[in-house]
Amino acid sequence: MEELEQRLAITEEKKQELFRNNLGLVLDRDFFHVAFNTDAYLHDFYTQLEEPAMRMVHTYMPTIVAKLPKGGRMCDFGAGPTIHLGVCFRHSVDEIFFADYLPQNRNELVRWINKESNFDWSTVLRTIACHEGAMNSWLTMEEETRSKVRGVLHCDCLKDSSIEYPTDVAEGFDVRFILNTSKS
């Protein structure tokens, strides 16, 4: 991403100006790399859970996941900077992988794995815990999920091989979950 920013001569100030001046702009793939603000996305969609689609996901996902077969590997394809699907699958799969196109989203996931993220997931975790029927489990959800995460991968849905697999995952995934990728 830094290379692209240098090539386009886009500074942090310029990025913020572009955000302010082009709120209705549909971003192309190159511009999206530098213009997508991971922190703003997390704040807008995951702090209050006011957006109806997000409320629906957090309400019904625990029930959907509970009905799936147990075990195997899960990939959250197009995860963005989010952990909520991994959290929902933490008791159902042996391994969790997050995959996203944008480096800033992958970096946020790595920060979360390393306990360096500044984002507070407690609102989301409490909602999931409520729908799992275990109100206090939200306190341990992040650690349980981290213990299952095996990688943060680059993905590109426009390529024939859409995920850059590590060598030890060459056989693929048992569960591929794609949610909200088309709106990105």
In this structure, is the dihedral angle defined by the CA atoms of residues 36, 180, 156 and 153, taken in order, positive or negative?
positive
Which CATH code fits 51-183? 3.40.50.150
Give the global pTM: 0.79
Do 74 and 175 touch, CB atoms closer than 8 A?
yes
Pair type for strands 95-100 and 175-178: unpaired
Query: Which band of pLDDT confidence, cut at 50, 70 and 90, is reported for residue 5?
Result: low
Percent of the chain with pLDDT over 70: 77
pLDDT of residue 129: 92
Closest to 155 (Cα-Cα) out of 92, 65, 88, 79 = 79
pLDDT for 17-72, tens place per residue?
666 565 555 566 667 777 788 999 898 888 877 777 777 777 888 888 888 889 99
Query: Quick one: how far is CA 13 from the chain centroid?
Result: 26
Which residue in this structure is represented by tokens 């992988």? Answer: 97
**Distance (Å, whole) CA 45 – CA 59:** 15
pLDDT of residue 58: 76
